[in-house]
Structure 1
Amino acid sequence: MARTKKVTITLPAELLESMKTHTDNVSGYLTELAERAERRRLLREELDAYQGEFGAFTDQEMAEAQALLHGTEGMRHAA
C-alpha cells in the first residue's frame, strides 16, 4: 500500500458539498484528481521535450494522435 500523509486543505463549501453528492470518499476522490493532474503535467513535459528536439507536431501527427485517443474513424492519411 502506498505511503500516505495527512494534510489539511480548504475548499469552498459548495465544491465540497458537490463532491459529497457523488462520493463518500472525498480524500480518495481528490487523490485521483491529483494523480491525473500529475500524469498530465509529466506528459506535457515529455511532449514539450520531444518537440524541442524534433520540432512541432505536424497536422497529420496531431490527427493520428486524436484518432488513437478518441477512436476517430475515417482518419485521413497523407499521400
Structure 2
Amino acid sequence: MAKTRKVTITLPAELLDSMKTHTDNVSGYLTEQAERAERRRLLREDLDHYQGEFGAFTDQEMAEAQALLHGTDGMEHAA
C-alpha cells in the first residue's frame, strides 16, 4: 500500500457539497483527481520534450494518435 500523509485543505463549501453528492470518500476522490492531473502534467512534459527534439507532430501523426486514443479510423481529423 502506498505511504500516505494527512493534510488539511480548504475548499469552497459548494464544491465540497457537490463532491459529497457522488462520493462518500472525498479523500479518495481528491487523490484520484490529483493523480490524473499529475499524469497529464508528466505526459505534457514528455510530449513537449519530444517535439523540442524532433519537431512538431504532423497532421498524420495527430490523426493516428486520435485513432489510438478514441478508436476512430484516424481519417476524420486528418486534413
Provide TM-score, normalisation by structure 2.
0.92
Question: Which position in structure 2 is the counterpart of 1:16?
Answer: 16
Q: How many residues align?
A: 76
Question: Which position in structure 2 is the counterpart of 1:61?
Answer: 61
Question: Which position in structure 2 is the counterpart of 1:6?
Answer: 6
| Superposed CA offset, 1:18-48 (max 9, x none) | 0000000000000000000000000000000
Structure 2 unaligned segments of length 5 or more: list them.
Answer: none
Identity among equivalent pairs (%): 88
Runs of 4+ in 1 over 3 A off after TM superposition: none
Higher relative contact order, chain-length normalized (CA < 8 Å, sep 6+):
2
Structure 1 counterpart of 2:46, one-letter code? E
Matched, 1:43 2:27: no
Q: What RMSD over aligned residues (CA atoms) do the two structures have, in Å? A: 1.2
Return the offset for 1:72.
1.0
Structure 1 unaligned segments of length 5 or more: list them.
Answer: none
| Superposed CA offset, 1:25-77 (max 9, x none) | 0000000000000000000000000000000000110111111111113x33x
Provide TM-score, normalisation by structure 1.
0.92
